Structure 1
Amino acid sequence: MAKETVLVVCPGRGTYNAPELGYLARHHAGSEWLARFDAMREQAGKETLSALDGAVKFTPAHLRGDNAAPLIHACAYLDFLGLDRERFEIVAVTGNSMGWYTALACAGAVAGEHGFAIADGMGVNSQKHEPGGQAVLVLVDEDWKVDPALRRAVEAAMARHGVMPSIRLGGMLVVAGGEAALDALEKDLPALARPPMRLAGHGPFHTPLMQASSDAARAQFPEEWFGQPQVPLIDGRGKVWRRFESARHDLWDYTFGHQILAPYDFTAAMTVGIREFAPDRVVLLGPGETLGGAIGQMLVALDWLDISSRAVFAARQGEDPFLIGMGRPSQRGIVIP
């Protein structure tokens, strides 16, 4: 029987919340890799992932970058290792924002230990930045369609207040800037389907305000950790890094330069992944499933597999899901042996 082809997506910050507490214990108890990650944290004088994941209750400490980033990376990477390779062929890997570091490890561009060290270290480095934060703007209507005039009006308001694009996320736009600029933007926006949502504990990621984080990363993580991906790796511009075509220095330079300082276009990454590799399914690694809606919105925008609306997407997901979210118990079993 021919294997089904899958595009693997690695999630970023904001995907380990109260419902995900205990994710590692539920799905990866006894994992050799989890033990390695715990040992690396313990050696560095940090709380282990098992302790954080096994806390009695979810606290604001779980949302701090130095805890959230390694927790999310470990959940996603261990999910990736658990995929049924007898049934599924991974044709490409991508990620959203911080998920790029996980994608590097999943694609084999860095070793598993180095991938965790990068995610863990960047959880700390991401807190080194100029003052500012992020907000999510929902541009889609109830049917997951975007009015081009609304998008233009939002971009004009951003320009008036010096607010920058941070992540392009299907029918949503994550914006970043100083707190005063974000406050002014929110008062000047056209009517949106939902009020802007400020992301607690997030800095002005993917903007030049993150220069200190970029500088720290370049000093901390050696170029020698990087190699050629074993499967195609799609970055936050939609560029595909392929085996035998990827230079170590270029991949290192992108990871700690452009990827930190410029907008992350997850929409472009997914569009390239779907159009160029035409996978039988998309697998969204855990924890959580907050990226599912954004991916669905992209499928609607592409009219992929005749998925032309939110209702059509929901119907397709109910019958034979094209998008498999490993953070969703009803779908996880599809891809785990």
Structure 2
Amino acid sequence: MSARKTAVVVCPGRGTYNKAELGYLGRHFPDAGLLAEFDRQRAEAGQETLSALDGADRFSLAKHTRGDNASGLIFAATLGDFLSIDRDEIDILAVTGNSMGWYSALACAGATSPGDGFRVANTMGTFMQDALIGGQLVYPFLGDDWRPDAERKAALLAMVADIDARAEHVLALSIDLGGMLVLAGNEAGLKAFESEAEPIDGRFPMRLGNHAAFHTHLQQPVAERGRAALAPELFTQPKLPMVDGRGAIWWPHASDNDALWDYTLGHQVTESYDFTRAITVAAREFAPDLFIVTGPGTTLGGAVAQSLILADWRAMGSKADFKARQESDPLLVSMGMAEQRGLVTAQ
């Protein structure tokens, strides 16, 4: 890059460390001492170290996607990528994240130390796996052209509400994810949606393996366990602004640490996570040149682009508009893509 760019950094959530990401920490994590600290925490808890998981000969869906393993791997990959951004070339204005990416955002923004941030992410991922209450599925409401369709979204959410109102059925919006609805609930609620929603491309509705009913009231026991295990003292004033899953901004020198603890281990766990709103607020409040999506994985870029289209950011109204803008003057960089990573790192 010829001139210093401004950026909002976006941290991915669960489901982003898969077969292609095996070895990601070995390839990209920039601080061996810090990785050793994460490994020490895992070993003390009787868990397999990140180095061993990441350095395995082959990827295991059953092992690597479990919450107690995936959360630590994703947090470390995200933080490592954040630390690898060339700050001489990139001026980071703010940080946000999707779902468990909020835990990563806390550490990236300095609202926790790296070690304490890892403790939060690893602990909550372990508690989620221990309980494994309910499940999640994803379903798109935008067409292939990504043109906003508020009526389609409203109709789907009405279907969700109807199912949730039935006896012994639980179903709710878990994550508002660009052009995708991530729904969560109990087995009866999920099966009802799967049977009643129109199938799309032979893929959707798509059930997410090893995922619980994140961001719903079903996670209240996990939230309570997290609050008992993780003290407010782990949280401090952020050094960078953070946009949370409501679209609220936590500003440096003006954030209430106890309120941050309460949100992170309360609302963030048991209420819907509005990633679309977070990206909209980040775009309008900070007007960055770039949105940088850290690794692992490459799947969150589409949700960021769709969120910007839904926000009518820079007059983009469709997938074609976004692609034309991206080709002429890129505004989205995915660090999980080798061809884009070098745009924001010194590597």
TM range (shorter): over 0.9
Q: Give the match for residue 167 of structure 2.
A: none
For 1:146-173, what per-residue CA distance to the aligned partner results, in whole angstroms no more than 9, with x for missing partners? 4222222211211121110100001111
Counterparts of 1:285 and 1:55, CA distance in 2: 22
Query: Aligned pairs, how many?
Result: 337
Q: Give the match for residue 42 of structure 2.
A: 41
Q: Give the match for residue 181 of structure 1.
A: 189
1:252 to 247, 261, 266: 261
1:58 aligns with 2:50: no
Report the alpha carbon displacement of residue 31 of structure 1 after superposing the two structures with TM: 2.5
Normalised to the residue count of structure 2, the TM-score between the two structures is 0.93
Q: Give the match for residue 104 of structure 1.
A: 106
For 1:9-52, what per-residue CA distance to the aligned partner results, in whole angstroms no more than 9, with x for missing partners? 01100000001111111112762211221122122221111110
1:320 to 329, 332, 336: 329
SS at match of 1:334: coil
Report the alpha carbon displacement of residue 191 of structure 1 after superposing the two structures with TM: 5.8
Letter of the aligned partner of 1:291 in structure 2? L
Q: Counterparts in 2 of 1:172-211, with a 5 A limit?
A: 172-190=180-198, 192=200, 195-211=204-220
For 1:202-251, what per-residue CA distance to the aligned partner results, in whole angstroms no more than 9, with x for missing partners? 00000000011101100111111111111101110000000121111100
1:17 aligns with 2:18: yes
CA contact (8 A) 2:9 2:293 kept: yes
Counterparts of 1:74 and 1:148, CA distance in 2: 36
CA contact (8 A) 1:137 1:195 kept: yes
Q: Counterparts in 2 of 1:110-121, with a 5 A limit?
A: 110-121=112-123
Report the alpha carbon displacement of residue 125 of structure 1 after superposing the two structures with TM: 1.2
1:290 aligns with 2:291: no
CA contact (8 A) 1:234 1:241 kept: yes
Unaligned runs of 5+ in 2: 165-170
Counterparts of 2:46 and 2:130, CA distance in 1: 20
CA contact (8 A) 2:148 2:317 kept: no
Counterparts of 1:329 and 1:131, CA distance in 2: 36
Report the alpha carbon displacement of residue 180 of structure 1 after superposing the two structures with TM: 1.4
CA contact (8 A) 1:150 1:190 kept: no
Q: Counterparts in 2 of 1:1-337, with a 5 A limit?
A: 3-28=4-29, 31-59=32-60, 60-129=62-131, 131-162=133-164, 163-190=171-198, 192=200, 195-337=204-346
Q: Structure 1 residues 63, 191: closer, same or farther in 2, change over 3 A? A: closer
Q: Structure 1 residues 37, 279: closer, same or farther in 2, change over 3 A? A: same
Letter of the aligned partner of 2:287 in structure 1? A
SS at match of 2:13: coil
Letter of the aligned partner of 1:174 in structure 2? V
SS at match of 2:343: helix
CA contact (8 A) 2:38 2:50 kept: yes
> Percent identity, aligned pairs only?
51
For 1:243-289, what per-residue CA distance to the aligned partner results, in whole angstroms no more than 9, with x for missing partners? 12111110000000000000000011110000110001010010011
CA contact (8 A) 1:128 1:210 kept: no
Letter of the aligned partner of 2:184 in structure 1? A
Counterparts of 2:148 and 2:305, CA distance in 1: 13
Counterparts of 2:280 and 2:130, CA distance in 1: 31
SS at match of 1:76: helix
Aligned Cα root-mean-square deviation (Å): 1.6
CA contact (8 A) 1:129 1:204 kept: no
